[in-house]
A = this chain, B = another copy of it.
Amino acid sequence: MDLTETEISNNPVFEGKLIDLKVETVSLPNGKTATREIVKHPDASAAIAINSEKKMLLVKQWREPIKQVTLEIPAGLIDPTDNSPLDAMKRELNEEGGYKAEYWEKVTEFYPSPGFSDEKLYLFYCDTLTKLEEEDKRPLDEDEFLTQEWYSLDELKQLIAQGKIVDGKTVTAIMFWENMLLTGQQNND
């Protein structure tokens, strides 16, 4: 069965600072038509960052769409000036964490909400962290405010069970890290 939908027309509704919205009319596999509301969003990078005490770096920040403070892994949009998703993540680890990491590994990439958005997320793992000197630190975006916390795997699993970690990419990252530890795939350098 050919599941392909074919774009017939495309109505741009909104162009914002972060996202654009369009309404597409598509032709369905049965020849009928339907509309699809689509949010264009820049791609992003995120990282599982583990320190020498085997704790994961999380950042606390306000998320206005859900009107609450969340605990999330460090992450950020990929800028046109970044050479790659990995470069973007190294920059974000500097800006949001004040750290650089010796060891980096690509974990996976996925679309958080392919039903309505084209946002793609690149997930990395890093460890062997060192705190940056003041002069090497880059500033946060001017509308960005956050604080840092470090948690062990046991604490992270409890925070998920208690409903205190509710960010999708962070839940995914914790499960990947636990499975890396359970199957002995973590970096032991």
Contacts and interface: CB of A to CB of B under 8 A. Distances in A.
B65 A114 contact: yes
Nearest to A119: B113
A147 B3 contact: yes
Given A37-B19, A64-B5, A109 B145 contact: no
Given A145-B1, A168-B110, A116 B60 contact: no
A65 B143 contact: no
B19 A116 contact: yes
Copies per complex of this chain: 2
A117 B4 contact: no
Pick from A1, A16, A66, A171 the residue with the most CB of B within 10 Å. A171
Contacts of A119: 113
A108 interface: yes
Interface in A105-126: 108-121
Interface range, A side: 35 or more
Contact of A3 (B16, B69, B167): B69
A184 B91 CA distance: 39
A132 interface: no
Given A1-B145, A39-B39, A172-B171, A14 B14 contact: yes
24 contacts: A3-B61, A3-B146, A7-B64, A13-B14, A13-B21, A17-B35, A17-B37, A34-B143, A36-B65, A38-B64, A63-B115, A65-B117, A66-B120, A70-B111, A110-B165, A112-B168, A113-B113, A168-B168, A175-B175, A175-B178, A175-B179, A179-B179, A179-B182, A182-B183
The 6 closest A-B pairs by CB, nearest first: A175-B175, A34-B143, A112-B168, A36-B64, A63-B114, A112-B112
